[in-house]
Amino acid sequence: MILTQALFAQSIDEFAWHHIHTAYTTEDHQAGETSTSIIEDAQGHIFVGNERGLLKFDGVQWSLMPETGHSSYVMSIAADSAQNIWVAGMKSVGYYSATPSGQYIYNDMTSSVTTAFEGKDLGTFWKLYSHEKAIFLITSEHVLRWTEGKWRSWKFEDERRILPSWTDDGLYIHARGTGVFHFNGNEFEQIAQANPEVASGIIGILGNTSKGVLCATVNNGIFYLKDGSYRRAFPLIPDSQTLHAFICPNNNIILSTSHDGVFIISITGETLRHIPYQKPIFYTMSDSYGTIWSAGIGTILMIPRLPLTYYADTAYRMQKYAGDLYYSNGSSLQRISHAIKGQQEQQILDTGTHIWCIQTVDDQLLYGDINSLNFIHNKNNTPRKVHTPREISSIYHSRQDPNIIYVTDLPRISRWQKKSDRWQYLDSLQDFQSGAISVAEIAHSKLLISGENSPLLMADWEQANSIQALGQESGLPAKFTWAYILQRDELTIVISNKGLYKYNTLSGKFVYDPVLGEDLGNDAYALSHAPTASQLGWVLYLPSRNQQINPVGKLIWEQGRFTWTPYHLPSSALAGRVHTLLNEVNESSDEILWLGGSKNILRYNISQMPTYTAPATKLTQIGEQETAQLYYNGAGSPPQQISLDFPQRSLYIDYASSPTPIKVTRYQTRLAGYNESWSDPHASTSRVFTNLPSGSYTFEVRAIDEFGRIGTGASLQITILAPWYNTPYAYATYVIIGLFLLTGLNYLKNQSLRLRNERLSALVQQRTQELEAQKQELQKANKAKQNFLASISHEIRNPLNGIIGISQLLKQREDEQGTASEETTHLYSCSQHLNQLLSQTLDYSSLEAGKLRTRVESFAPAELLQEVLQIQTSMAHEKGIELEVEKPDIKHNWKGDPVLLRQILINLVSNAIKYSNKGVVRVILSYQASEETVDACFEVIDSGPGVPQGHEHIIFQEFTRLPDSEMSHIPGTGLGLTISAEMARLMGGSLTLDSKYHGGARFVLNLQFEIELFRRKTKANHTQEGSEILKGKRVLIADDMNFNRYISTAVLDSMGAEIDVAENGRIALNKLQSSHYEIVILDISMPELSGIEVVEAYLEQHEGHCPKFIALSAYNSLDAEERCIAAGFNHFIEKPLEPEKLKKLLKRHHRKSPNSTGSDLLAYLSKNGPMSLKELQAEYNQSLREELDKLKIAFALDRSQEQDEVIHKLLGLCRVQQCEAISTLVEKISASSKGGAPREEIAVLIRELSKELDRAATAT
């Protein structure tokens, strides 16, 4: 090997420093151990001659070329001007050419050689060269040239094989027994005689210089050959054989050796790089990117052209001191010296633990560890230690006093002073114990301090309690996640997670500079920095959220502004997490940048850094997976476009970037015409497309390098041909066939049109009859539904009518006597509310059909609110919940539908109480009034668990309750909120849930009402008018229930009427025919004859003056009212009979009384009516007994409909006087009857009910 002694020694001593390279082994290319030669083609593919054949590398994958039919051992390869790849085996030669489909085929030229030189022993085929249109094949003794379709040979008489070399000025041959020959185009001319100085053989002619032809020998060194004489260029180091030598375009010499690897030396003999390898390297070449490729035994080396070396150790801090590099790896202080005879030497100076900081101060090197401050003097490299009570994390030199340093000994900041080359502790900053990331002195004893998750601080060392936080008044944010203070000369800056701030020494304030942006992440320890070597500024390693983007650059302050210039540092990821930087200018005036990280220490020569372009992308293979058809296999230039038949199945496209010094980290693709957007960056080097529709597309791919740059892409036009049935020829055929078909079809159509019309006419008539029949069936079903609702409401309201009537009479009498009681008021309010609740429940079918109507009436909103709360008082009291109402003073009545409003509020308040275990339920009324209208807002707020997020709309759906609710045990149908919301909508308003309220549930009801222009009267102004409005008038009441008749009789009696009663419709008709009445009140659902049938029969038989007929119905529907009016009724009243309703019909003035509620209806009636309690109880017991007898008969005769009707009446009677035993039995009978229980079980319950009635009668 030929190197200078010093350089060779340096390379040996630099064993710890590594150069970037990649070694491909048999595990990568799956071929043989031995590789002999390497070339690059025009597409950037690398071809390697191997003992198993010819290898191809596209930048991503290795592949073996098709077999030649001869021995697989490849001796040499070359690429001609047509981009054919020539291959020489030991006794064979040929070339690979590209087919139009992009596949390689082998063209065997061996027979042409043997034919041209038949009878000659050409020896082994050693080397191939290509020049213009000629191919040179070098054998053991011959040079063969292929040109213009024929071979020509030149023979050299020599005992050993001839050694060829190719340079820019042509082919050289070294015949070691004869001399050196140069090919002048047609013949060889000898330029030097045989010389023992080069007896080992000239292995490579490196080029023609002013000093002569530079020749590299196997064992004798490197010489200049001029005028037939040899002059040594570099001394000989007889340690390893040179197996191949060539010169790069940048004039660097590459030497491949037998067991020392690869050397890259300058034209002056300086070793630039050394890649150690202990096995032979046979061949080396340089590709278009300047990358060195070497082929040998066991490896194929790729050595990128990078001015980078690295050392395998961790570095947390680095510092240059006295010409040497000092660094700490956390557990020791290391020194790499350049001062010993030009060699590098590594030395461990200190093995103390936790060495995190190194700093030069004048002629000393200071560093801190866990319990001492250490310093090294230039004349004495032995560290000297001064004990400290705390661990030292950083050291800062005072700008005002060269003998003062500030030390961050967590969590304090201390001050040290230099005395007689030794450092002594002075004191610590008072009142500071929070830890500091960085410190800077801006004036005498005044410090800026930065920390983690804290504001920037300013402290005066000489004054107590002087630490103050700097915020917006100083031009800074109130707090930083992290911040570093950097200082050079008079320039002080703060780099933080929120960007860069420059300190103004005159104003004492900071100014934000956008040069680094406003978001540098939240990693407090990701920033690394070092002063620049030649300019005012810093080299920075910035925190980066995108770890694939190189964040190293130079921040420079010049001409009054900052500039940021990023470095493009290839392979910087080798450093790992970067902890420290160092910038210097070496003896050759080159800028050097050191990166110390968690994995390695990297050294970049910035001045020699080439300008790298972003890597280009190429297509490497195109084919169909399903059919295994290839459209391009990497041979020659890829196609610009391909056409595929429909249907397209599984098109795959492989792509890659040629191997370059810059790493490709990701790719982006898109298929224009299908999706115009680029894909997200990915590492895949293949795309597959399946079942593309017919049409034209453009596939595009581009690479993204390690700096985030996008390189030149590759594209492919793809046409999916239309299927045969979508071609113009097919369309023409369709037209012709269509014309024939239309002609024939037209004839057939005319013939069948008459028959079709006849069939259609018959079908229309049939369908019309079917639709008419369906219409009648639907009408019957609807009528049956209305009849059912009327019947069921009648049966429910019959007992309810009694309760309402009695409570109303009691209240009326108390009002007349001025002795109103709270019990009567509560009884009346509850009965009224129960009636309204029943009405709204029965109207749910009308709500579904959109038939629910609103009724505009005048009402007092404050009284309505009070009624709502009175109804819920008992329920709230049982749960210990307070009811509160907040309302303003309201001077006028409002006009609207108080029934719907009351129902909505009762539903909301009831829900609020049910879903609250404690606390308060508040009802808040607020409004905005104009001249004629008022916009009212009712709020119902509880302190329960509230409605879970995401269920705000579910609760308004019918029959829906919250899933998995903690209150799921609370009974309910799930209709309350649904009906309330629909009622609010019918009233022109809305009911919503406040989803932002978190103290429970808050429902908001918004409605608009009219303002009654007359001022609302107070109770004091009310009169008792109308108490005897029917005085002297004969009134007939017909109802099939005794108790209902009693209630109606009491109501009419209080109005002064002369009353007659009838038990059924037949009796009522007989009395009408025999007596005269002014008013007749008929229940429309009675046995014998219904109320409607009574009126129709009477009007048919009677002419002249008729009484006023009033229909009394338990079911208030539009259809029922229309039937009654059509039959001859004058008015229609919904049960129960109330004086107010009757007075309205008779056009008398009336007033509404506040609702009341009570518990013992019979006892109350006995105190305020003509019958004693005993008489009322007897009448009540008799009614129960009669209904029970009817139930027994219906049960015995198995009349289910009659049985259900009687059970309904019993349920109503049970609610007049609460008896838990009787009510429970009746409810069990009802449930058993509806559930289809065995008759024996129902019979047992009826017998128990009979016994219970007997016990109750005996007790009274």
Phi, psi at residue 1065, to the nearest 5°? -70, -35
Could you count the other beta carbons within 10 Å of the beta carbon of residue 629?
12
Most confident of 538-547, 916-925, 1176-1185: 916-925
Give me the pLDDT at residue 1170, please.
Answer: 54
Per DSSP, the three-state class of 413 is strand
Amino acid at position 969, single letter: H
Query: Looking at per-residue confidence, does 560 or 1044 come out higher?
Result: 560
Phi, psi at residue 349, to the nearest 5°? -95, -30
Residues 155-169: what's their mean pLDDT?
89
Could you count the other beta carbons within 10 Å of the beta carbon of residue 286?
20
Residues 1167-1175: what's their mean pLDDT?
60
Lowest mean pLDDT among 562-576, 816-830, 1121-1135: 816-830
Residues 1145-1162: what's their mean pLDDT?
43
**DSSP code at position 460:** E
Q: Are the CB atoms for 70 and 109 separated by under 8 Å?
A: no
**1217 falls in which pLDDT band (50, 70, 90)?**
low
Predicted confidence (pLDDT) per residue in 580-626, tens digit: 999 999 888 999 999 999 999 999 999 988 888 899 999 999 999 88
Give me the pLDDT at residue 769, please.
Answer: 85
**1196 falls in which pLDDT band (50, 70, 90)?**
confident
Tell whether the model's pLDDT for residue 681 goes beyond 70.
yes
Predicted confidence (pLDDT) per residue in 57-110, tens digit: 999 999 999 999 999 999 999 999 989 999 999 999 999 999 988 899 999 999
Strand duo 1079-1083 + 1058-1062: pairing: unpaired
Percentage above 70 pLDDT, the chain: 86
Question: What interhelical angle do 1091-1101 and 1065-1074 show, nearest 10?
Answer: 30
Lowest mean pLDDT among 248-252, 295-299, 427-431, 816-820: 816-820
The Cα–Cα gap between 1249 and 28 comes to 96
The structural domains of the chain, ordered by start, are 617-726 (2.60.40.10), 861-1015 (3.30.565.10), 1034-1151 (3.40.50.2300), 1173-1259 (1.20.120)
Long-range contacts of 1195-1201 (CB under 8 A, 24+ apart): 1195/1239, 1195/1242, 1195/1243, 1195/1246, 1200/1233
Residues 732-752: what's their mean pLDDT?
85
Give me the pLDDT at residue 1020, please.
Answer: 38
The Cα–Cα gap between 503 and 513 comes to 11
Residues 419-426: what's their mean pLDDT?
88
Residues 1096-1113: what's their mean pLDDT?
84
**7 falls in which pLDDT band (50, 70, 90)?**
very low
**Encoded tokens for 872:** 């819920």
The Cα–Cα gap between 272 and 309 comes to 11
**DSSP code at position 1107:** P
Question: What interhelical angle do 1200-1214 and 1173-1196 show, nearest 10?
Answer: 160
**Encoded tokens for 381:** 């490299």
Give me the pLDDT at residue 1008, please.
Answer: 93
Lowest mean pLDDT among 799-813, 873-887, 958-972: 958-972
Give me the pLDDT at residue 181, please.
Answer: 95
Predicted confidence (pLDDT) per residue in 120-151, tens digit: 889 999 999 999 899 999 999 999 999 999 99
Give me the pLDDT at residue 56, please.
Answer: 95
Give me the pLDDT at residue 3, please.
Answer: 33
**1159 falls in which pLDDT band (50, 70, 90)?**
very low
Q: Are the CB atoms for 55 and 30 separated by under 8 Å?
A: no
**547 falls in which pLDDT band (50, 70, 90)?**
very low
Cβ-count burial of 1122 within 10 angstroms (0-12 exposed, 13-18 middle, 19+ buried)?
exposed
The Cα–Cα gap between 1211 and 142 comes to 126
Strands (E), 811-907: 857-859, 882-886, 892-896
Predicted confidence (pLDDT) per residue in 480-495, tens digit: 999 999 999 889 999 9
Tell whether the model's pLDDT for residue 790 goes beyond 60.
no
List helix spans (H) across 999-1138. Answer: 1042-1054, 1065-1074, 1091-1101, 1118-1127
Whether omega before 307 lies within 30 degrees of 0, making that bond cis, reads no
The Cα–Cα gap between 304 and 307 comes to 9
Residues 1209-1233: what's their mean pLDDT?
77
Q: Are the CB atoms for 74 and 94 separated by under 8 Å?
A: no
The pTM score is: 0.57
Residues counted in the chain: 1260
Per DSSP, the three-state class of 959 is coil
Give me the pLDDT at residue 12, please.
Answer: 30
Maximum Cα interatomic distance, the chain, rounded to a whole number of Å? 163
Question: What interhelical angle do 1042-1054 and 728-817 show, nearest 10?
Answer: 60
Tell whether the model's pLDDT for residue 1022 goes beyond 50.
no
Tell whether the model's pLDDT for residue 974 goes beyond 70.
no
List helix spans (H) across 260-313. Answer: none
**983 falls in which pLDDT band (50, 70, 90)?**
confident
Give me the pLDDT at residue 772, please.
Answer: 82
Instruction: Report the mean per-residue pLDDT for the chain.
Output: 84
Tell whether the model's pLDDT for residue 755 goes beyond 90.
no
Strands (E), 287-342: 292-296, 300-303, 308-311, 317-321, 324-328, 333-340
Residues 855-877: what's their mean pLDDT?
83
**339 falls in which pLDDT band (50, 70, 90)?**
very low
The Cα–Cα gap between 707 and 729 comes to 54
The Cα–Cα gap between 666 and 705 comes to 7
Q: Are the CB atoms for 692 and 648 separated by under 8 Å?
A: yes
Lowest mean pLDDT among 116-125, 869-878, 979-988: 869-878
Dihedral (Cα; 106, 112, 115, 116), 10-degree rounding: -150
List helix spans (H) across 1075-1199. Answer: 1091-1101, 1118-1127, 1139-1145, 1161-1168, 1173-1196
The Cα–Cα gap between 1030 and 389 comes to 109
Cβ-count burial of 841 within 10 angstroms (0-12 exposed, 13-18 middle, 19+ buried)?
middle
Across the strands, what pairs with 223? 215, 232
Residues 325-352: what's their mean pLDDT?
72
Percentage above 90 pLDDT, the chain: 38
